[in-house]
Amino acid sequence: MSTSFHPGSGDHDAPSPWERRILAEIEQDLARSDPRLFRRFARLGRTRPRGPHRWWPFSALATGLLVAELSGLAVIGTLLPSSWWPVLGVITALVVVPWLIVAAAGNNGGDPTGPRPRSPA
């Protein structure tokens, strides 16, 4: 365990020495009984290095496809009578909302900590 207990430090949620000993025993038992699961838990606690923050979170391909789709809808909208504009509004929403969800989740598999390693099938 990397945290330490300092009596009187004002951190009332810190584990006591007795609790730390029990947790260490549980950790050792898990490492002995299921090393694979132990390694997986150990990886969860690590922080992954982050690259530089991008101001636009979507790929160029996803952005290009969205612009093309919206441009096509705009051209179709100029050719159709105004009574069809509500339908185009619904179609536009059906294009934009899934694009935002898929493109945002596609950057890192939907996991805010980064891509998940693939497990053997």
| Position 3 pLDDT exceeds 60 | no
> pLDDT tens, 50-82?
666 666 667 788 788 888 888 888 898 889 898
Taking the CB of residue 8, how many other CB atoms lie within 10 A of it?
5
| Position 92 pLDDT exceeds 90 | no
Please report, for the chain, the start and end positions of each structural domain, with discontinuous segments joined by +: 1-46, 54-121
Q: What is residue 47's predicted lDDT score, i.e. its pLDDT?
A: 62
Question: Distance (Å, rounded) from C-alpha 19 to C-alpha 29?
Answer: 15
Mean pLDDT of the chain: 75
Q: What is residue 110's predicted lDDT score, i.e. its pLDDT?
A: 45
> pLDDT tens, 12-48?
778 889 999 998 898 888 889 988 888 888 787 666 6
- CA-angle at 31, arms to 26 and 35, nearest 5°: 145
- CA dihedral (11, 13, 18, 21) in degrees, to 10, reads -100
Q: What is residue 15's predicted lDDT score, i.e. its pLDDT?
A: 86
Query: Tokens 């619904």 sit at which residue?
Result: 90
